[in-house]
Chain A
Amino acid sequence: MSTWLNRGVGFAVPLLIAFLVSAVVLLAIGENPLDTFSLMLTEGFGSPRRFASTLSAATPLLFTAVGTAICFRAGVFNVGVDGAFLIGGLAAVVAGFSLPAGLGWALVPICLTIAAVFGAAWLFIPGWLLAKLQVDEVVSTLMLNFIALAITGYLVNGPFLSRQSGNNVTPPVHEAAELSRLMPPATLHSGFLMALVVLVAYAFWTRRTPAGLEGAWVGLNRRFSRVVGVSVERTIILAMVLSGVVGGLGGAAHGLGQLHRFTDGFSAGYGFTGMAVALLAHNSPLGMLIGAVLFGALASAGTTIQLFSDIPLDLVNIIQGIVMIFAVIELGRITIRRRAKA
């Protein structure tokens, strides 16, 4: 019971601080914060179509949040889900336009598998380096993000550049490779359902499988895990690889479902927003669902609000940044370190 209360407080406090600060900002520019927030609420959730676009914006965040949480709960500070998202997204899209369209319904699963493999391989690198050589994963995954950005940026402007549509985009994927739209004309696509499946699988993995339990042990206490016979190395690599699979699938869903191609600037910081969601939720599946929908609503409402009022869309980034700064107070490593100090 008290853990639920703790989690609720951990979820609410950073959001509260963020909304207080943005209320002050809004007051400073002469807007009524209550009006703005209620407008955001209606724009985010007010009608089925608006709700659909909120869910559509939440889809990539669900993937990146789960991808991040898999590592965070194992005490692996992976900030590289954004890179896996890019690599997986490009791999899926390239498969989606270069494989023969005649494959029909089989095309989507093939593309998803390819994306998962690429994402897994991408984060296997820092996982292996951490497990075998103790190479600091924060730095390695951060650097790999930039490398992923450079590689995909090069490929989308070079070998995979669309001949028809000019700059920075690949050709569109075959129609058969597109994920179906759930409520046309809204962009909500079946990638959202995939994200829910991934979330449920994560919940099952963390609570009902030995590997998931071992992951939590390694996150809480590496030495203890080693003593009771858990292979810390294997757990770390597994967490990274699974994180890469989920990140890669997220990129695939975004590419095949939302954009139908790969573009320069494919990930609008989804990896980092997803990290904010995972932190806010303290890796709990339900919390991540709520958090992702909330940030999805912010993103989709922010766009409309900018159209109809003087409030810049950047308010969303202010909120996200504050949440990230204040959401992290109880993260695994820190609690351990603080306990050791006390």
Chain B
Amino acid sequence: MIEQVLASGVVLTTPILLAAIGGLVNRQAGIVNIALEGKMLAGAFVAIVISAATGSWLIATVTAALVSMVIGWGFSLTITRLGANMITAGLGLNVLAAGSIGFLMSYAYGSSGTLRLPDVALLPHVFPASVEGLPVVGQLLANLDPLTILAVLSIAVLPFLLGATRFGLWIRATGNAAPVMRSVGLNPKLLQEASTAFAGFFAGLAGAQLALASIGIFNEGLTAGRGFIALAAFYFGRDRPWQTAAACLLFGLLDAAQIRMQTVGLPPRLIGALPYLMVLVALVVSQMRSLRRTQ
């Protein structure tokens, strides 16, 4: 039972974590990315189509990430260059992405809602099936896919990238003091665009993982609010990589456990709202603390 929850929890954590990595970097550069959901959906769609066309999970994943990256970059231009509001533009992009994908699906594939394509190549398992015999983590390791490993590695190097490299410091300076960036001759808009493209790239990876980890079928409801859970996670983790990752793992395990809690009589719909409630409570608590400090 614990093995199963752990294994499925990790699988469910990966897409949230990948999206949250992009979102937290984006927010460090001063842009709250509400459009992760739409970009994940686009990534998932592209991943399924390309995977079916080429038979390669790698090409599919990379294409999905690149497509979402371009979407993210184009989206950031409306904010940085046209002065669009990042919140409504983000919500608009979610609507636009869902609309465009729905349009493409019914026009090109004549299907509404669900897209089944033959020969979709799924993500491979990293370890041979024999590891399943190991206690506790056996199932987890047997199901481990390359994107989960990539997510964990990214989280591991992110504190270094943000804290000790020139580019990371630029990103953080942009979010905290854009005028300073300008005064040293750097363009904060370019960095915001780059960070939004980065968020798009990771949201695309998240979508690819969601689509190719186990089912290999695209559905309009595939992301099911995970882009917003990712948002909740980096708000909960206050944009710090490790804390955000911990929040993602918590939400992923919660998601995995919710199916089991149903049998105990807890309604799954209410459990599904827990991440959102937790973020609300966390925001309130942190605001209360910082207000008390200033008084």
Q: Which residues of A line the B interface, CB within 8 A?
A: 25, 29, 77, 79, 129, 133-136, 138-140, 142-144, 146-147, 149-151, 153-154, 157-158, 269, 272, 275-276, 279, 310, 312-331, 333-334, 338
Contacts and interface: CB of A to CB of B under 8 A. Distances in A.
Contacts of A29: 107
B79 to A, nearest CB: 9
Given A150-B270, A153-B269, A327-B88, A334 B93 contact: no
Contact of B84 (A129, A133, A149, A328): A328
Most chain A CB inside 10 Å of its own CB: which residue of B89, B93, B101, B291: B89
A325 B96 contact: yes
Contacts of B87: 77, 79, 138
B287 interface: yes
A154 B271 CA distance: 10
Judged by DSSP, the binding face of B is helix
Contact of A140 (B78, B96, B283): B283
Contacts of B101: 314
Contact of B284 (A135, A154, A323): A135
A267 B94 CA distance: 17
A53 B102 CA distance: 24
Contacts of A158: 267
Interface string B88-114: 110111111111111100110000000
A20 to B, nearest CB: 14
Interface of B: 32, 34, 75, 78, 82-85, 87-89, 91-103, 106-107, 225, 228, 231-232, 235, 267, 269-270, 272-273, 276-277, 279-280, 283-284, 287-288, 291
A133 B34 CA distance: 23
Contacts, number: 147
Q: Main SS of the interface on chain A?
A: helix
B84 A321 contact: no
Contacts of A325: 75, 78, 84, 88-89, 92-93, 96
B95 A269 contact: yes
Contacts of B93: 321, 325
A325 B38 CA distance: 13
Given A29-B107, A326-B78, A150 B95 contact: no
B92 A146 contact: no
A237 to B, nearest CB: 16
A3 to B, nearest CB: 19
Given A135-B284, A324-B91, 13 more contacts: A133-B287, A142-B228, A146-B276, A150-B270, A157-B267, A275-B88, A310-B107, A312-B102, A312-B106, A325-B88, A328-B84, A329-B84, A330-B83
Given A138-B32, A150-B273, A315 B92 contact: no
A326 B287 contact: no
B103 to A, nearest CB: 4
B272 A150 contact: yes
A331 B88 CA distance: 10
Nearest to A158: B267
Nearest to A324: B92
Given A138-B87, A318-B100, A323 B92 contact: yes
A328 B279 contact: no
Centre residue among A79, A136, A150, A320 by max chain B CB count within 10 A: A150
A157 B269 contact: yes
A338 to B, nearest CB: 6
21 contacts: A25-B103, A136-B283, A139-B280, A142-B34, A143-B280, A150-B276, A157-B269, A276-B88, A315-B103, A317-B95, A317-B96, A321-B96, A321-B100, A322-B92, A323-B92, A324-B92, A324-B95, A325-B84, A325-B92, A326-B84, A327-B88
